[in-house]
Amino acid sequence: MQLVILDRDGVINYDSDDYIKSPEEWKAIPNSLEAIVKLNQAGFRVVIVSNQSGLARGFFNIDTLNKIHAKMYRELAELGGNIEAIFFCPHSPRGACNCRKPKPGLYNEIALRLGIHLTGVPSIGDSLRDIQAAVAAGAVPILVRTGKGLMTETQLAQNGFDRIQVFDDLASAAQAVIYQQQLKQDKLDNK
């Protein structure tokens, strides 16, 4: 079974400069949950990696974050999909942690907990720090234009990431990931 790593805000749900502070504020981007279902149906395990500095800033507490995630899990389950795990950094940008993207700490935690290497694992995000963290962990970064993605796309070349795959949204990125996996499987089957 393959793995896909997703950022949350701006990829699965609409992002906000004021943070997603309640379950009511969490709203899925059209077709994002369906994209996760399709990934699951194609044999992919899905995990989320997310900076959640709103915890450190006092905008919400862990109970509220759990309720936000419960809403996401519930809406996804209604469609037949599953997110295996959510890894998040609760620290502020001023913290000296290794888990806040663009650092690869959360990615390293995924590899350790799941007992896998992240080489070749697709990691879909909307920000430059998502791309940087994926590269630092050895994963394959993919950018979506939702959330902060349009702005990030203009920064790719100047930051040395001019060969990153870019898609309009999670649905189109998931379709490409599934297709690329099918191509790999066909090559193996034809050997």
Active-site positions? Answer: 7, 9
Distance CA 91, CA 13 (A): 21
Contact 177, 164 (CB under 8 A): no
Helix/strand/coil percent split, the chain, to 5 = 40, 15, 40
Measuring CA to CA, which residue among 118, 187, 190, 131 is closest to residue 159?
A: 131
Distance CA 185, CA 122 (A): 16
